[in-house]
Structure 1
Amino acid sequence: MIMDMADPNAGHQQMDEVFTDNELVHLVRNALKSIVLGDGKSYHDLIGVMHQKGPMSPDEVAMLVTCLKALSGAASSIDLTHHQALLSTIFSMSMWNYVPEIMDAIIDLVISMAASNGKYVDPCLSMLIRNFTPPYSFLRMMKQPRGLSIKEQVLSRVHSALEGISRLVPLAPMVLLTLIVQRMPRQNDNEDVLLMYVENMFRLESGSIGHLVGSTMFVAVVDRMIDLDLDIAWEDILQDDAGKGIFQLELDEINEIDDEIENDVNEPLGAQMNRMGVVGNAIAEKLDSLLALTFGHLESCQEQGRLNEVFGTLLNSFQTTVLTAYKSKFAQFVMFYACALDPEDCGVRFARTLLDIFVCNDYPPMTRMSAVAYLASYLARGKFISTDFVVEILRRLVDWCMDYCKIQNGDTNPELHRSFYSGCQAIMYVLCFRMRSLVHIPGFKSQLSRMPLESILKHRLDPLRVCLPSVVEEFLRQAKAAHLFTVSKTFVFDNLPESELSRTFGGLERLDMFFPFDPCLLKKSDRYVRPNYIFWSTVQTSFEDEEVSDQDDEEEGTHDGAMTIGDQDGFDIDEFDNALNKMSITPKNFKWGGDMQPLARMPSKLRPSTSPGSF
């Protein structure tokens, strides 16, 4: 009898006997009934066999496989009320502890139970999801060949079971979605556990039931990225030394921080963050690994021809989660990299979506400002974005700003007209990066002259006095060098050290200083982003041979209709240069939603920009 299997000696004798499958099932059913009839010895002997763990002899393996197969045939006889001990034993089994033969038997049993009774669908799926990750004692093996072999043996069977249950039980995918999201590791969980869990989520997304569960997988991963992102305090990455920003370090000093990544020597348009503060930050490093894993999956989607479909899910998730997360620091680079993989479709789609949000009055002002900040930063930084497309978006932004000017008769009011000022700043910011490449396009100057940009900048709403001074100053310098406008001495710029007007239009979140695609300071992620990215240092140094010095301009005066900046009495351009020593989306001591400290600014002595690569 099967009850004798609890005794090893009896078990050995029992294995010498030959039972048909039906006979084994009959024996197990009798054991299940015995507990109901008050004689539970056979039932408890069965549970004893199921409890075997650790190294097992061939006979013990055969005995456990026999019991599991027999239970699969008797799955309909397992009662939720009377067989709680057996159910608890089954659902606590970790396939990581067993040889492949036992793994197969466990999978067959779990599928049979889920198909036999709807009440078991939830616990069966939960048991499979728990096997996404190994016991903690196995984690150290996961990067070794043996560990990787066990990992594939387990996970291939887990996913086969999930797909099997989903085919047999129509409602199973909906239950699966809920359970996966609920059981997803939290921010403070082990990094290896989180990454392995997400690997399984992506495996489901690209598997046979991906059309049922895939979109939820991506949304859940992005949500976890945002959770991690927001847990990284600005104090952890802001530069402590006000006189020495990370982007002003000498190259050899930066290489000491990370000799594998060529960092920007002088990134004045980038966030004033300290890579040394990010490295060693457990949350940041966890987010970095998660981003790199996601980038790799996006590459796989592209190879499979599925990127466009996946991008739709990412774009929806971005609009509902990332766009409104004003403290987001790195998670948004998922969108940037997806666009880099498919510039002509995904890249264009992303920019046009952001533009549509900005020009639509149905969205709250803060959402519109965030959208145009993303748009400007994206157009400025994406090496893969065509110059023609940049011109197209700039034209639409200029047209919207001009239409806004036409219906406004009031004076400067940063809070009332914050969407307008954010649009103007976006135009100038993009031109800071793209001016050189654009003015070299045949006919671009004539195109720009047909855009009412000059009228917008001269409008009584006075965007030059409201937008971020560092952006305005750099834009005016480049426009002057490029001789963009025909009216001389049109623009005079006051020195506003604290930019009170700008601070007002930016609001509590300081969206006037929000350039979300400033350099990614995460080591693993940067390796993906860097080849597709325009750094300010590249823009700056590429124009050194064509510099028009401030001193020459002051001596010669305005020429060929170029703009002038310092015509006011008492205006000291050198003093202003010192004040605008660097520009950053996150200046020193800046705290979101808190009191504002003196701003860090971009150097004013920069050359008209040129863009590498496709430009």
Structure 2
Amino acid sequence: MVSLISPMAVQPPVSGQYPQKSLKRDASHLSSPSTQDSLFSSQPTKRLRVAFDDNVDVRIMDDWNTKPVELVREEVRSAIEGHLRTGDEQDNTGYEQLRMIFVGAGTTQDPSRRDSEKAGYADERPNTALLKQYIAALTQRVSELRHCGSLIMAVMDINWVGREETFVATYTRFLAALGSAVPGVLRTVLDRMVRLFVNLPSSYGRILGEPYISRPEMVGRLHGVIRYLQRLIPAVSTSLAEVLRHEFPNHRTVDKRSYVGYVKNILRIAEYAPELKGEILTLITERVIKLDVEVQEEIDDLEEEEEEMVVTGDTEGVDIDDDMSDAESEASSEASVTPEERHLKTLRETVGKMDAILDLLFAHYTNAFLDGTRLQAADTYLHLLSQFENFILPTYRSRHTQFLVFHFSQLSQYNIGLFLDTLVRIAFRRATPSHSALSAIAYLSSFIARGAHISRDTVRDIFVLLGDQLTAFRLAYAPACRGPDLSRYALFYAIAQAMLYIYCFRWRDLIVLEPGQDADADDYDVFEQGEPIWIPGIKEALHQNIYSPLNPLKVCAPPIVSQFAAIANHLRFLYVFPLLETNKRLRLSSYRGIGPQLGTGGVGEMGVGKREGALAGKKGEQHHQLDAFFPFDPYQLRKSGRWMEGDYNVWKGVPGMNNGAEDSEDEDEEESEDEEFYEDEVQDLDAVSESS
């Protein structure tokens, strides 16, 4: 039985794969009498009866607009040579037609897509097979493309990440050849790919007639091409570092998913491009510090309840909001939101971004320490210390970023020692700017006070070291001192405040225990176990410096002074309440600027004004006192806070210490005992001072 293929039997191809006018032409050709006669009839003069047989295998042509390879190559050659010969002075129809093939090929650039529609090519998008032929032909003539900028841009703008594997391989070879042969185009190639880290819609993987490509698969293809180029072209590393910095998104203009996704992807680059690892980590650290400072400045203006909601509340607020797809509900909810609520929501979203980025950094460094060799772990920690010294330490108001070094410094006693050595070097070397020295002392005291893995011996060594430095500064300053003055003796007061702070947290480690006593002295009660024995020298050193003309208890932050006074009194360490009463009648402003200006290796007027950034907002005596700045105060972020488990030394109350619950009769009795203790203590300490 004879089978006849008619236009009605031909299934229409997928929309957009070929021009409609071509279909009409082909169908009319097949249905013309002459064609039927020549193809299907052995007796043209006899009329045939049309019959259909279900057993006949009818096949439909898949690639309606594929062409012979030689024809494609000739089109490319003719178009490029014509353009190079005439440039833009004449009508280069062949070059423009070649360019528009790529413009209409599902480009991701909206302006180009509109150009294709205006030019009449909207219905003539070539399929992947034909595109692959043109890409291969262009690869063979890539050295001639340096003067074909518009064609290059059209090719680079096509949606290639969502196409089938063989096309991606062909396109990758083209990009490699293009980056090697055409000067200046390499950065543009990398820029196009890095931008997709921020904005890569899943719709790119849904090209009509192509298998579905998921977003993770498309991201993997981006990294595959970058890695291929990085191994093939030496200049990629330099250009890529510049692109990564330039394309780092602004946290104000992108959502959380895009912002965090960009950081994830550049950390992934650091894994297969080790020469860029340092620059990438530096870039992320710089950005998260800026985010940290910005958040802290805004949080300082909030009420306590608002601050808790923003920092410890729902840091995943962005994800929740993304689930709201109903436009009317969103519009009505936005209409009912006040400006203050909108501000808190934005701030909460920003905190969520910072929290997620810090969590990524903790995870990245953890993998580097656990998976690498001992030498690699040491290099990683040295790099982290460098980040701390160059970016974190000089930044005032940073609140959470510094916990990276807090956590990883406690992985080993070697790291603890290295971190402390770094802080001591910065704090006490003469070449250190005063604001860096003050910051280093604050970090030193906060680390000793809060680090859960710091040994008793380390606490004692640092406390004695600070006491020696404090005494050295007192001996240098006291002869010319006419009274407490933060602007002149800032480093002295910073050391004194550091010692007071450490004492409040680690007094247990400063007690010399008898054999058989609890090593931690958590339950040490002075009323039950008697007056403690302190490590030699610290009691005398603090007494001499506290009662010196520099009068540190007047300049140090009042909350710390009050807490120290209470604990020191309870533990029979020092009794300073009479001095505190005297200081209430003292006005620091009356001592400012009295006496000669001393050369103190960085301590002076600028040393305080620049570091204590909150001084401008202080009033009265507070303007002349230190801030209670201790950078390792409790970590509050919810997601990344998991890394602090086991690292943090929380505040512990002093056993048997009066918390204000006693009757007035008990308080009077205790006060009389304190006065008797004070008189005896002063006589003993004065004798030590005279002998020294």
Question: Residues 13 and 97 of structure 1: is their aligned pair in 2 closer, same or farther, counting only changes over 3 Å?
Answer: closer
What aligned pairs does 1:28-43 form with structure 2 within 5 A after superposition?
A: 28-37=76-85, 40-43=92-95
Question: Residues 555 and 363 of structure 1: is their aligned pair in 2 closer, same or farther, counting only changes over 3 Å?
Answer: same
> Does 1:181 find its partner at 2:245?
yes
Q: Which amino acid in the other structure matches residue 431 of structure 1?
A: Y
Matched residue, 1:461:
550
Matched residue, 1:376:
445
How far apart are the structure 2 equivalents of 1:316 and 1:406?
A: 34
Question: Residues 33 and 337 of structure 1: is their aligned pair in 2 closer, same or farther, counting only changes over 3 Å?
Answer: farther
Q: Which amino acid in the other structure matches residue 177 of structure 1?
A: A
Question: Residues 450 and 37 of structure 1: is their aligned pair in 2 closer, same or farther, counting only changes over 3 Å?
Answer: closer
Deviations 1:423-465 (A, max 9, x none): 1101111121111344365699453436733333333322122
Q: Is the 8 A contact 2:312 2:638 kept in 1?
A: no
Question: Residues 310 and 427 of structure 1: is their aligned pair in 2 closer, same or farther, counting only changes over 3 Å?
Answer: same
2:535 to 444, 447, 453: 447
Deviations 1:365-396 (A, max 9, x none): 22211221122222222223333222222222
Matched residue, 2:613:
509
Query: How far 1:563 sits from its partner (Å)?
Result: 5.5
> Does 1:421 find its partner at 2:493?
yes
Question: Residues 364 and 196 of structure 1: is their aligned pair in 2 closer, same or farther, counting only changes over 3 Å?
Answer: same
Question: Residues 54 and 413 of structure 1: is their aligned pair in 2 closer, same or farther, counting only changes over 3 Å?
Answer: closer
What aligned pairs does 1:326-475 form with structure 2 within 5 A after superposition?
A: 326-340=396-410, 342-408=411-477, 409=479, 410-411=481-482, 412-439=484-511, 445-449=533-537, 452-475=541-564
Q: Is the 8 A contact 2:106 2:158 kept in 1?
A: no
How far apart are the structure 1 equivalents of 2:65 and 2:136?
A: 16
Q: Which amino acid in the other structure matches residue 120 of structure 1?
A: V
> Does 1:323 find its partner at 2:396?
no
Question: Residues 398 and 24 of structure 1: is their aligned pair in 2 closer, same or farther, counting only changes over 3 Å?
Answer: farther
1:67 to 134, 144, 147: 134
Deviations 1:82-111 (A, max 9, x none): x22211112323444434443333322211
Question: Residues 178 and 489 of structure 1: is their aligned pair in 2 closer, same or farther, counting only changes over 3 Å?
Answer: closer
Question: Residues 495 and 456 of structure 1: is their aligned pair in 2 closer, same or farther, counting only changes over 3 Å?
Answer: closer
Q: Which amino acid in the other structure matches residue 566 of structure 2?
A: R
Task: Report the 3-state secondary structure (helix = DSSP H, G, I; strand = E; otherwise coil) of the residue aligned with 1:49.
Answer: helix
Question: Residues 13 and 93 of structure 1: is their aligned pair in 2 closer, same or farther, counting only changes over 3 Å?
Answer: closer
Identity %: 21
Gaps (5+ residues) in structure 2? 1-16, 24-61, 109-122, 317-342, 516-531, 593-604, 615-625, 683-692
* TM norm structure 1: 0.73
Deviates more, 1:421-430 or 1:389-398: 389-398
Q: Is the 8 A contact 2:295 2:351 kept in 1?
A: yes
What aligned pairs does 1:183-582 form with structure 2 within 5 A after superposition?
A: 183-190=247-254, 191-207=256-272, 209-210=273-274, 212-232=275-295, 234-238=297-301, 240=303, 281-305=348-372, 306-340=376-410, 342-408=411-477, 409=479, 410-411=481-482, 412-439=484-511, 445-449=533-537, 452-484=541-573, 492-494=579-581, 501=588, 507=609, 508-510=612-614, 512-536=627-651, 539-540=652-653, 543-544=654-655, 546-548=656-658, 552=666, 554-556=668-670, 557-558=672-673
Question: Residues 389 and 489 of structure 1: is their aligned pair in 2 closer, same or farther, counting only changes over 3 Å?
Answer: closer
Q: Is the 8 A contact 2:19 2:124 kept in 1?
A: no
2:101 to 49, 66, 72: 49
Matched residue, 1:605:
none
Matched residue, 1:583:
none
Q: Is the 8 A contact 1:50 1:90 kept in 2?
A: yes
Query: How far 1:57 sits from its partner (Å)?
Result: 13
Task: Report the 3-state secondary structure (helix = DSSP H, G, I; strand = E; otherwise coil) of the residue aligned with 2:199.
Answer: coil
Count of residue pairs the alignment pairs up: 521
* TM norm structure 2: 0.65
Query: How far 1:283 sits from its partner (Å)?
Result: 2.2
Query: How far 1:471 sits from its partner (Å)?
Result: 1.0
How far apart are the structure 2 equivalents of 1:325 and 1:117?
A: 43
Q: Which amino acid in the other structure matches residue 420 of structure 2?
A: A
Deviates more, 1:192-201 or 1:501-510: 501-510
Question: Residues 152 and 405 of structure 1: is their aligned pair in 2 closer, same or farther, counting only changes over 3 Å?
Answer: same
The structure, 1 or 2, with the larger RCO (C-alpha pairs under 8 Å, 6+ apart) is: 1
Q: Is the 8 A contact 2:107 2:157 kept in 1?
A: no
How far apart are the structure 2 equivalents of 1:278 and 1:494?
A: 46
How far apart are the structure 2 equivalents of 1:177 and 1:312?
A: 21
- Cα RMSD over matched residues? 4.3
Q: Is the 8 A contact 1:278 1:285 kept in 2?
A: no
